[in-house]
Structure 1
């Protein structure tokens, strides 16, 4: 991967027409803020730290630009012509320990010169990030949760993904989520079905917008695939460390109580609520139960 990063850095320097040394000075001017963004002290010299930030930031920006503007992809591009590398990269992009402060990406992205077709608007780092994760079907959220529509500040990619999954009506969802942490539990999907409850795919793009109305439980689509557990484990850990509002944790807590067995998964698949890309419904049930264990382990 180091070779790919160096190659993308080379293209990034060509694109911006700014020298390596000039970028070093730009990053050095924000070094204290960058170091302060990490939970643990970074044991690197100033030069090594700044070079690491530049290499990682240039690689990410070049990757996002090439994904957004396909005409920027070159025939010898070793990233986009090897799908397994793309998968490795987006796994890395949401790992809690790999997060790069978003403000430095914004600063450097603003310097990236690209030729925009007339029908396209000049993109922002928010735009290309959203399109990248949406294209990989990692997010379903609303683009209007981000600037310029809101004043929300994005800390890093994992924070970006958390924002994508937040409900539009936060106060109401928070109250509902807190009830489950006060000792109350929810019956399983199978139990509810036997009691005459119906299930319906919610029209909402907000993952957490679960609503019970007229004996019908409306649940947004949940896509289960190989990367789902990794994504939610990192979201859970990040949220528990940095937020008092536990939207993701509350959602996983509720889904865990609804889905205990393969039969529960089967009922939600039949109603179009779960889209299961895992080998079988038993694996899907196990994934959801593993996520509930992640919540308990982080609370200990």
Structure 2
């Protein structure tokens, strides 16, 4: 029994695929502890890219439509279609080991099946991006087709990716023969920038990509902090947006931030004894809450939880989870113009923000310094007691009315006492 176990383990150790990997796999199933909370955030709705969802029933119908995209792409190029497809397939076989090394496989496919799958998916993606790109004359999408948003959604899923280096190879074999003046980066740019979570523009032109990259990892790189942003161990817990507001903290949108997800606490540099003159301001990126927000956050965080990369999106999610407890917190951030809720329901937005960090670990924080400044301010005498008073007496119209009535009654009684003494 021991010998049989040793043989099985040796088989895994000596597996050819494990020795041909130059980089850790970057395309895989999301961790089950995250997937079980929201399977719909990870499953493609319409189109399967790559092998992980190839057998899903809901994507099989679109496989026929991929052929039409392939035909459209071939018809654009002034070369024999057989020659174009031959060069594509040769390229697929020449980088087969690199393609295999990008995935954690859930089913066994032959090299021929992998090559055909990759070429078809890559050509579909290229034609889709051509059709929605104003740089090309013949556009059929331009955001008007019903399938447009669904395809854009599916192209950003962690489990639904194609290696970017191979997509670039297919670009060289096809699109470059059509328009040599357009770069691969120009073609794919719109897919990335259309999936931005924030109001500020993505600095996509500064992003570089390597062998293990794909569309989701490119979006992740667009949010990368600069080198001077230091991470620290997560140990500070702050109050919600409403409680911070009661203590005197203001919220403002970031203006031209060096880091798209950056937050900064701004305070007066001189000592002040008047609470209202010394209130800090937390500047934040303007976050859009819309239909795509939850699945993008979940896929970016799942990517961070499983791949050897920095967890700055997870860190941002933890801060937002602390700031938002109820729909009142969402309303306060909306009022401060640091959050735009397109869904319309503050309660749904609050639930989404609270849920994206569930079952997720966050060891490092990129906001620890800012959180400590806010905590120190809120624990000072005046902010602490004023926040308590506002929470106790000013958190509802009836309590305000009761407080005002009590003050008026006290003043009237005091006046009555004074007049009685004088008389």
TM category (shorter chain) comes to: 0.7 to 0.9
SS at match of 1:217: strand
Residue 64 of structure 1, aligned match among 124, 129, 135: 129
* Residue matched to 2:100: 35
Q: Distance in 1 between matches of 2:290 and 2:327?
A: 16
1:20 aligns with 2:85: yes
Residue deviations 1:229-271 (CA, integer Å, cap 9, x gap)? 1111010011111134211110101111111111111111111
Q: How does 1:155-174 map to 2 (within 5 A)?
A: 155-167=213-225, 169-172=226-229, 174=230
Where relative contact order (Cα < 8 A, 6+ residues apart) is larger, the structure is 2
Aligned match for 1:187, one of 239, 247, 250: 239
Closer/same/farther in 2, CA of residues 165 and 253 from structure 1, 3 Å limit: same
Equivalent-residue separation in structure 1 for 2:125 and 2:359 (angstroms): 29
User: Which of 7-16 and 107-116 deviates more?
Assistant: 107-116
**Counterparts of 1:146-161 in structure 2 under 5 Å?**
146-147=207-208, 155-161=213-219
Residue from 184, 206, 221 that aligns with 1:125: 184
Q: Distance in 2 between matches of 1:129 and 1:223?
A: 22
The alignment partner of 1:68 has SS state of coil
Q: What pairs up with 1:178-217 in 2 under 5 angstroms?
A: 178-179=232-233, 181=234, 183-204=235-256, 206-214=259-267, 215-217=280-282
Establish whether residue 145 from structure 1 lines up as the match of residue 211 from structure 2.
no
Contact persistence 1:199–1:217 (CA under 8 A): yes
User: CA offset at residue 95 of structure 1?
Assistant: 1.2
Distance in 2 between residues matched to 1:72 and 1:138, nearest whole Å? 29
- C-alpha separation in 2, matches of 1:93 and 1:227: 12
Match of 1:82 in 2: 145
Q: Match for 2:172 among 91, 105, 110?
A: 110
Offset from partner CA, 1:32-76 (integer Å, 9 cap, x none): 1101111236511111111100111001111112212352224xx
Distance 1:93 1:61 in 2: 12
Unmatched segments (≥5 aa) in structure 1: none
Moved more, 206-215 or 125-134: 125-134
Match for residue 352 of structure 2 among 276, 287, 298? 287
Q: What is the aligned partner in structure 1 of residue 162 from structure 2?
A: 100
Residue aligning to 2:117: 52
* Structure 1 segments of 4+ aligned residues over 6 angstroms from their partners: 151-154
State the Cα distance separating 1:128 from its structure 2 match: 2.4
Kept after mapping to 2: 8 A contact 1:67/1:132: no
Give SS of 2:357's match.
helix
Q: How many residues align?
A: 280
Q: Supply the distance in 2 between the matched residues of 1:232 and 1:202 (Cα, whole angstroms).
A: 20
Q: Alpha carbon RMSD of aligned pairs, Å?
A: 2.4
Partner Cα separation in structure 1 for residue 72 and residue 282 of structure 2: 51
Gaps of 5+ in 2: 1-61, 268-279, 363-423
Map of 1:263-278 to 2, 5 A cutoff?
A: 263-278=328-343
Please say which structure displays the higher CA radius of gyration: 2
Deviation string 1:138-193 (CA, Å, 9 cap, x unpaired) is 5632123324xxx76670011011012222x2442x42xx34x2x32121111111
Q: Is the 8 A contact 2:318 2:357 kept in 1?
A: yes
* Alignment CA distance shift 1:9-1:204 (3 Å): same
2:139 corresponds to: 73
Q: Which residue pairs with 1:257 in the alignment?
A: 322
Q: Aligned equivalents of 1:200 and 1:64: distance in 2?
A: 36
Tell me how far 1:296 sits from its aligned partner. Answer: 4.8
Q: Compute the displacement of 1:114 (Å).
A: 6.5
Q: In structure 2, do the counterparts of structure 1 residues 157 and 244 end up closer, same or farther at CA, with 3 Å as the change threshold?
A: closer
